[in-house]
Chains A and B, each alone.
Chain A
Amino acid sequence: MTSISMGTGRSTADRLAAIRGGVQPKRHNARTIAALTRNPGCARRAVLDTAGVDKQRLAAYIDFPARFGQSGFAIARGNAFEAQVKASGAAELVRLLRERLGLPIPEVAYDDLETVTGREKESPEVRYARSRALLLRAAAGEEDAGTLFDHPLLALEVAGQRVYLEPDLIAFQHEGRFHVVEIKSFAVVDGQADPAKVSAAAIQAAVYVLAMRQMLAEAGHDPEIVAHDVILVCPRDFSNSPTAVLVDVRRQLAVLRRQLGRMTRVDTMLAALPPNLSFDLAPDADGVPTRAPEALVEALRTVEARYAPDCLSVCELAYFCRAEARGCTAALGTSAREELGGIERVETALGLAKGELSPAEEQEEAAALLRNAARLRAEVLGTAG
C-alpha cells in the first residue's frame, strides 16, 4: 500500500511508524487477531493495532493497566493438558482422531515442528520454511507426507506486517483434508462447554484456517482442502481424559476476512487524524518514557473510541476507555446504545425521560421510549411502594 495521505508525501507505513514511535511494531498473534473481530467499530483500536503500538505498555504508563492477569495461569494449565494429549507421539490424540475423523490405522506419522534444528533459540523463518515444506508436500498428496504436524508455524499478512501463527496441531488425512486441532483446558461437561470459551477458541482456530488456506492458495492448491470444521480437544467432565468435538468456523472466517480487509484501508482513517499524532513511549536513560502521561492521554483523545463492556475482555485500553466513557450511554452496552440512538450522554437520557429536556428531531423516537419507560417505572414503584 503506497497511497499518499495528508498531502505531506508520507506513505502510510511511515505514518504508522511515526504513530508507533521508534520501536518495532508489536507482533500480533492468533489471539490478538481474533480480538480484532470484536468491537470492529473502534477507530482508536484500529489505529493502535494497525500501527502495532504496545497497548499494554501504553495503558500501564497512563495508569490504566490492563488486567489480563489470570491468563498466565490459564496458559500454564493449558500447556499441561496439551502436553498430556500430545505425549508419546500424540497417542491420545490419535485415538480421538480415529474416532472423530475415521483416521485409518496407518496414519500416525508425527512431525514435531516446534523445534527444527534443535537449537534453543530458533528463528521463525526456519520453522516456517520447514512447516510450509511439509504441509505443501501433504497437500500435493505425496507418499509418506505425514499426518500430524505438531506446532507448525503459519504466516498471515496483517496490516502489511507478516505475523507468524502457531496452531496447536494440524492433522492431515490422506483422503485429502487438513484439520486444525485446537487443544483447550476448559472442561466439556455432558457434552456442553462454556459457550464464550468455545466461541473464543473457534475464532482463534479460524485464524489458523485462514492462514493455512492462504498458504495453500499461494502455492496453487485448493484452499478448501482445509476443513472449516476445526477439532476442539478439551478435558471431559473435569477428568483428565480428553474428548474431541468438531466446531464449524465458517461464520468466524467471514468475520475475520472482513476485519483484516478493513485494516488495510487504514489510510482513510489516518487522514482524519492530527499529522503529528504519536504514541511514542521512547524511554530516557532511566527507562522512564520521555513523554508525560498527559501528553499520551491527549493523543488518545484525538482518536475516536467506541467503548463497550465487551472491551474489558479484548482490549488492553479498556480501563482507560471505560473511565473516559463514564456518563456515555455507549458504556451501558451495545443494546442500550442502539435503543438510545442519537443520545450520547446518560444525563441527556435522564433529562429526556423526566421531560426536563425537549428532544431534538432525531431524538424524538428515543425520547418517547424513555418517557414511556419512566412512566412505567413510576407506576410500578408507585403501586409496589
Chain B
Amino acid sequence: MNTAIAKYHTDLLRQMVRIRKFEEICVELYSATKIRGFLHLYVGEEAVAVGVLNGLTADDAVVSTYREHGHALARGLSMQSVMAEMFGRTSGCSRGRGGSMHLFDVKRRFYGGNAIVGGGLPLAVGIGLADRLRDSVRVTACFFGDGAVAEGEFHECMNLAALWKLPVLFCCENNRYAMGTALARAQAQTDLALRASSYGMPAWAVDGMDVVAVEEATRRAVETIRGGAGPCFLELRTYRFRAHSMYDSDRYRDKAEIARWKERDPIDALIRRMQTAGELTDDALKALHREVDDELQRAVAAADAGPLEPAGDLTRFVYAEQS
C-alpha cells in the first residue's frame, strides 16, 4: 500500500461522505420543516464536485448552480454556514437571503448558486475575461447541468469564451435529466462534449461516478487552460439518485434505471477500490462516518440556534452601503 495514495483516497472519501450525509440530513430537516423552499439534492453526484474542486487551487473561481450544496462543501464552506443559510439565519453564508439555491462565499471565490438554468455561464465568462485582461493564470470553473445546454446562453458563452480564449473550465454535470425531461427528449445531439468541441475548445467526456477520473480530467483541463489555450469543457456523466427537488414525485424514471446507477455509487466504488488495495479498514471507515456525523450534528445544532436577521434589516444589501 502506498500511504500517500491511501491518504489522498481517504480525503476524497471523507469529502464525498460529508456531502452525502449533509444531503441526507437535509431530507429529514425538510420534512421537519426546518428547511423550506426548493431543495435540490446532490446525492449520487458527489464525485463530480469533489473531483473538480480538488483539481482547482484556492485562487481559482467557482460559479455554481441551484444544486450546489456539494460544490459549496467541497470548496471549503463550513457545514455550519451552509446549513444556517438553509435555515434562513443571519449566520448563514448569505445571511439568510439566498437559501439553498444561493450559497455565496466570495472570500473563497465561490460566486454562488445561480437558480436560472444557464444564468451563471456569462458570469463565469466575465470573471475569466477579467482575469485575462489582467494576465492572471487563474481559472474559473463553471458548473451547469445538461438542461442548460438547451439554453441560448450556453451557445453564446461557448462561442465567446473560445473566441476570446478565456480561462474558463465549463463543467457540465450531465445527470441525464433536465428536471423531468430526459436528455434525448430535449436534445437533437446528446453527445455534449462533441457539441462543445464544435466551438473549437478541447472537450472531454468523463465518468462522473469516478472521483479519481474526475480529478485527473480536471487537472489536465486546468493545465491546458493555464497554458493559455482558452477554455475547456468537461462533460461529467453522472446521475442523481434522488428526485429533482423535494416537490418532484420522480414519475419519469423507471426504478430499474435508478437501481442500475446506484450500483455505480461513487462512494461505494471508492470504498471498494480502497479496500481492495488495503487502504481502508472497517474501523477506519467507521471512524470516518462518526467524525462526519459529529460535524453534521454540530452544524445542525448551531444552525438551529443561529439568530434570525432582524426584519428591520430587510432592505440592506440592495445597494452598496456607505462605509
A and B interact: no
